[in-house]
Structure 1
Amino acid sequence: MVKSVVGEETQLKSAEDRLFQSSVPAEVGLVVGKLNPDSNRGFVYDLIPTPPTDGGGPAGSLGSEVGGRDDKKKRSKGGKPSAEPSLLIDGDWVAEHARQVSRMLLGGMNVVGIYIWASEASFKATMPSILAQALRLVAQAAPWYDSEFDERLLIHISYSPRRWACRNCSLASGSLQPCDFRMGKLLASLQAFRCMYNFEIRLPIVHVGPVDSNTFRNVLFKGITYHAKDLQSAKVLIDGNLVTEDLHSISEGFHKVEFLLPFKKDMSAEGKACSSEEVSGLVVFSGSVCASAYLGPREPISQAIADLKGDIITSLRSRLDVISDEAEGEAALAANSNIEASEDASSGKPIHQLIIHELRKPCCLSFPRRVLVPWFAGIFICDYMQPSETFEDVKDRCKEMMSMEAPIEASAIVEPETAAATVTEKSFWDVTHGDIASLIDDSKNRRHLTEKAGSGKSKGSSLYFPIAIFILLVAILVGWAITFSGRKKVAP
């Protein structure tokens, strides 16, 4: 259980000043930080207000109904109810905000809870079950990679009286326990780790089993999950040095990391499927991921490595989610406006719902590219750019989702990934009908073209050999003739 929480003083004081100047009676937002279950400590880096709903209303407000659980007890005893209204929280909207923000955070940072700006009386008038439910929705929308930690933070900023309070919420029971909370300097002590990770995931496509398992999205998601298991066994180089188990500290500053995947001795689940008669094709998912992670004070190096691996897999999943969200948005727009959406003509479905082995034509899809956006104190967040988007789209999302009011210079946005990750699949139609040889046509054609390209050189070089033999024979005949004529002259 997390018992001690430290907040970044600069960011939290800035958030407090903004709230007091706004004069709003209530506000709900997200807490970005990191919780360490091994040390029972938590870090809070920033508070991000949830933007207004689609209807323009706030995500958190004060209800018109007065009283809470304590007031009901008072009324049952003949007492007067409290005049303070309780909090109303749009949990679904806050959860959607958490889902979007979690995509923009790099390794070592997560959405760790919510904060509430309200008077002490209004906070006490709100039933704890309402607060716990909001935290559950946020945890479900923004889960942590490879972690089932069952706790989130609830920070209450009271303006009457003016003070901070932090509580630890158990998602299972919904109980709220107080935490020791203080402020300090955190961001200046974070260490940055970054790597450029190249990958190639080969996914066999089977034509049996549940239809949903062979959709575009599910096939790629399964492949990314398989690759995550392989990544766990990778050897790690930090600044060119092999990481060993006894390495507990490292110099401050920026660190370059490389992952070395071992050769596979055993066939993976997808490899075994390739040898079966159920395989109808192959999808190749390849590209490069620029991954980053931030290590907090007194955390071991192994935590930075785990966060970096998690950032790679989370980034791939986030890009898949971006494509799926865009396809669903286009489908909804087409349904509302009776306009044909971008979809495969043979199936009539958005791309993430396509059954891959039913495709009748080759397909090549580019994934969004990750770009890094400066946040504060040398810390970056990220966003994903579609091929048709510009930096202006990135700026708008950062302003809306991360509440970044300061102008973002286009020159400050970093594009570490020169090429987007791509998904390529062969035409499975012929293969599904038994023409398995079509899978290797391209490789044969490439070999034929290579041989043809080199044939000019081989033909040219082969002409020299008979010419050399001819010259040699002529030289021998001439030499023999000279020798024979010379003998005749010296004969008596």
Structure 2
Amino acid sequence: MPRTVYSPEHCLQYLEQYASKEIFAIGLILGQMTDARENVIHLARTPEEKGSEIGIESNYGLDKSEIAKNLSSVSEAWIADHARHVTRMLPGGMFVQGIFVTSDEDVFEDPNCFSKLRSTLNHIYKGLSINEYMFGNCPYSNERLILHMSTSTKVLTCKSLEVGGLNKNTTLKPVEWKFSPKALSWQRLDCYYEFDEIYPVIVKNSGVSVKNQFQQILESAHKIIESSVMFIDGELKDGSESLDQLIKKKKTKTNTKLTQNEAPKSMHVSLFVPYENTLPETVEYLECEGSIHFSGVVSSSVFIYPKATVKEAIAAVKQDIVRSLASRFTMHCDALIDDNLLPEEKICFNEPPRRVLVPVGSLYLCDYLFPGEAPAEALLSVRELLDLKITETDVICDVETPADTSEFDALDRDASSEELLATPQEASQFMYITGLCFAMLVLLVSIIIHYYDGIIQVLSKIFPKS
């Protein structure tokens, strides 16, 4: 039985706008795969490559001679970089499912075209595997889609190809692509994860790298989030239940009905981290030069096919939180001039980019704005990376508020007096000396108690009773 993929009808119109003008185009297929159904949400054309640079910029002013006209002139690395940037904008549970092409070539029969497509998909797979916390590759399948529309015949063909393996003789598999005239309804799940952790800055001979330190913090956060228990609308749900079953049960209890066109309300997801009252057998003491305090709330909005299971929905929420943290850390590190984590000041305040939501069809993807950036910056990203035109009013900017720096300002004033701040070495010595004095006191008391009777007898002889 061939694999079946469902997509909204506007994806067909999107392909036809290029095929009707006989324009060669290549881009990404964005979607979600669950046990119930595989849905495509959007097709995003890859922007034209600007010179030999790899980035997100597109050159709309290129001469026609410089624009790619066929598959042979396309850079696999450029498309893989496009997939990496787009993955940051996808909520948890959404992935780059493959690539689409509009051309007059028979990409499945021409050996050169097929080799190029396979190489491109493997470049995307490897590029998204570099940072495991971005969850770039769909964990449910290694098969990626290739959707082709002929500019001459307007015939649409879709096939799948396995990527990431060592077998270079992977064969194409047929895929049935179906267009839905009605917009698909999505179940939205909202979660707010409070991030309030303090991490030590470990000193190494080669210095302290921001990226390395953030990678360790991200690994720790990932373990905490994966071990957490999630409640939907305040209740622990059975992982095998589907989301639409939960909605029906809730409506039965409240005796209310949903009309056919009414979208279900958002479900609230609460995250509870289990407390582990265990200590390691051996404690490793490391020299620290300082600490990093992460504080704030990560906003998570995930859209799931209503017939998906609770287990799949919870996995998507966890992916979304970790992917959001990984995206911010990467963007923050890329924006830094100096990779050295230790500043000259005693206290240094940094604000990573905050999350905003951008509409794509009947759901929302996301973008990130640095402090001081306006919603217009998100419009540029959406146009270049998603090939969409939206207005500033479409961008939802209040899901996360800018950081409150009042507490930092107070700490900065307190840190202005260096004599009040002990260095890490001084603090270590003070703790060591305090522990030594206490041990000597305990030893003295134990000696007195042990030899108490003997001391009383000696004192009675020296000082006899009158």
If the length of structure 2 is used for normalisation, what is the TM-score?
Answer: 0.73
- The equivalent residue for 2:351 is 366
Code of the residue aligned with 1:308 in structure 2: it is V
Tell which deviates more after alignment, 122-131 or 388-397.
122-131
Gaps of 5+ in 1: 64-85, 328-349, 441-492
Matched, 1:233 2:245: no
Match of 2:44 among 17, 30, 48: 48
1:250-306 deviations in Å (ceiling 9; x for gaps): 21442111111122323589xx87x61423332111211111212125321111110
Distance in 2 (alpha carbons) for counterparts of 1:102 and 1:372: 14
Describe how 1:228-267 pairs up with structure 2 within 5 A: 228-245=222-239, 247-248=241-242, 249-251=245-247, 252-267=264-279
SS at match of 1:203: strand
Q: Tell me the equivalent position of 2:206.
A: 211
Between the aligned residues of both structures, percent identity stands at 25
- Within 5 A, what are the aligned runs for 1:273-284? 276-284=285-293
Alignment of 1:78-477 (within 5 A): 87-121=72-106, 124-125=109-110, 126-143=112-129, 145=135, 149-171=141-163, 172=165, 173-174=167-168, 175-185=170-180, 187-208=183-204, 211=206, 214-245=208-239, 247-248=241-242, 249-251=245-247, 252-267=264-279, 276-327=285-336, 350-351=337-338, 353-356=339-342, 359=344, 361-377=346-362, 379-405=363-389, 407-410=390-393, 412-420=395-403, 434-436=425-427
Contact 1:288 1:421 in 2 (8 A): no
Change (3 A) 1:232 1:267: farther
Contact 1:193–1:255, Cα closer than 8 Å, also in 2: yes
Indicate the residue corresponding to 2:257 in structure 1: none
Aligned length: 383
Relative to its length, the structure with more strand (as a share) is 1
Letter in 1 for 2:101: I
Give the gaps of 5 or more residues in structure 2. Answer: 52-58, 248-263, 432-466
Distance 1:147 1:109, change over 3 A: closer
Which secondary structure does the structure 1 equivalent of 2:32 belong to?
strand
- Whether the aligned pair in 1 keeps the contact of 2:240 and 2:309 (CA below 8 Å) is no
1:418 Cα deviation from its structure 2 partner: 1.8
**Deviation of residue 50 (structure 1)?**
0.7
Hey, what's the Cα distance between the residues in 2 that align with 1:166 and 1:438? 69
Closer, same or farther: CA 121–13 of 1 in aligned 2, 3 Å: closer
Displacement of 1:44 in angstroms is: 1.7
User: Among 46, 61, 72, which residue is 2:68 paired with?
Assistant: 61
SS at match of 2:184: helix
Residues 246 and 16 of structure 1, relative CA distance in 2, 3 Å threshold: closer
Measure, in 1, the Cα distance between the counterparts of 2:316 and 2:206.
34
The verdict on how the C-alpha distance between 1:294 and 1:421 changes in structure 2, with shifts beyond 3 A counting, is farther
Partner Cα distance (1:421, 1:7) in 2: 44
| Larger RCO (CA under 8 A, 6+ residues apart) | 2
Letter matched to residue 180 of structure 1: V
Q: Which residue type is aligned with residue 90 of structure 1?
A: S
What one-letter code is carried by the residue in structure 2 that aligns with 1:368? Answer: P
- Following superposition, the deviation at residue 150 of structure 1 comes to 2.8
Counterpart of 1:188 in 2: which secondary structure? Answer: coil
Task: Tell me the SS of whatever aligns to 2:19.
Answer: helix
Q: Report if the CA contact (8 A) 1:167-1:176 is conserved.
A: no
Name the CA shift for 1:161/1:257 in 2 (closer, same or farther; >3 Å): same
The letter for the 2-side match of 1:10 is E
Q: Within 5 Å, which residues of 2 pair with 1:64-75? A: none
TM-score by length of 1: 0.69
Shift in Å at residue 369 of structure 1? 0.8
Give, in whole Å, the separation in 2 of the partners of 1:4 and 1:262.
40
Which letter maps to 2:145? L
